[in-house]
Amino acid sequence: MSAESAESPQQGGPLYKLWRFIREIVIIVAIALVLSFVIKTFFFRAYYIPSGSMENTLQINDRIFANLMVPGPFELERGDVVVFRDDLDWLPPLESQPTAVESALSFVGILPAAGEQYLVKRIIGTAGDTVECCTVDGKLSINGTPIDEPYIYPGNTPSDMAFTVTVPEGKLWVMGDHRAESADSRFHPDVQGGFVDLDSVQGKASVISWPLSRWGTIDSHEEVFASVPVPGN
């Protein structure tokens, strides 16, 4: 048998084949983790919906993806559903901390954000807007223009409490679609007037990713706000 046809134990043996297989798996996993981290950091991030404050737009246990390029290259608009950090302590402290594995998987973007407090609400007013509730026929108005809100949870009113606010620069006025179950901007007048810092916004909730039966985009309902005039006009 020639030297060329003889099987080299180093190059063709079972241990070498096993090593090659393991190496390829490690490379594939490493690339997947890097891509996941890049996507999570710059483009999209997963979040979990723990409450019914945004029903029926979002349901308890929904998983969503938020577009991290908003605000940023793209601007936020009235009607957008946004994810924002709980920088103003609207929520009670976490009862338990995530495990090391959960934190690691969250860091690379495989699991939703762990160990951090976030809220998901719909933008009703942006800088300069005057938001008031309610008109004589029970509607919310923005800059003096009443709006019809088809996304409100069936049987809810636009608000059970009266308010009139003007949104400062760099802030947002946000409300949940399930108005009777949402402790939103209306319920925090003693904390920065109930306004959310634009800098606290992590991104625009864009897609419901789980469960598969609810897969789809999240509607901003631009038509609701189309007739609202520019502040001051």
Q: In the prediction, which pLDDT does 6 show?
A: 44
- Listed residue (142, 129, 183) closest to 160, CA to CA: 183
Catalytic, out of 40, 106, 121, 206:
121
How far apart, in Å, are the Cα atoms of 171 and each of 123, 146, 192, 206? Answer: 10, 22, 10, 21
Q: CA torsion sign, 135 to 139 to 140 to 145?
A: negative
Tokens of 14: 């079972």
The DSSP element (H or E) to which 103 belongs, if any, is helix 100-107
Q: Are 138 and 129 in contact (CB under 8 A)?
A: no
How far apart, in Å, are the Cα atoms of 215 and each of 42, 86, 210, 211, 218? Answer: 22, 26, 6, 7, 10
* Residue 53 known to be catalytic: yes
Q: In the prediction, which pLDDT does 144 show?
A: 95
Listed in sequence order, the residues at least 6 apart from 86 whose beta carbon sits closer than 8 Å to its beta carbon are: 117, 118, 119
| Backbone region of residue 176 per phi and psi (left: phi > 0; alpha: psi in -120 to 50; beta: other values) | beta
Q: In the prediction, which pLDDT does 94 show?
A: 67
- Amino acid, single-letter form, for residue 50: P
Is the entire prediction scored with pTM above 0.85?
no
> Looking up tokens 């223009």, which residue turns up?
145
Tokens of 52: 């019914």
Q: In the prediction, which pLDDT does 12 show?
A: 62
Tokens of 9: 């134990």
Q: In the prediction, which pLDDT does 46 show?
A: 83
pLDDT in tens, the chain (233 residues): 444 444 444 566 777 677 777 877 877 766 666 655 555 555 668 888 999 999 999 999 999 989 887 666 468 999 999 999 999 999 988 666 666 766 666 665 555 555 578 999 999 999 999 999 999 999 999 999 999 999 999 999 999 999 999 999 999 999 999 999 999 999 999 999 999 999 999 999 999 988 999 999 999 999 999 999 988 76
Q: In the prediction, which pLDDT does 150 show?
A: 97
Alpha-carbon 144 to chain mean position: 29
Q: In the prediction, which pLDDT does 112 show?
A: 54
* Residue 2 known to be catalytic: no
Catalytic, out of 8, 17, 40, 53:
53
Q: Are 155 and 177 in contact (CB under 8 A)?
A: no
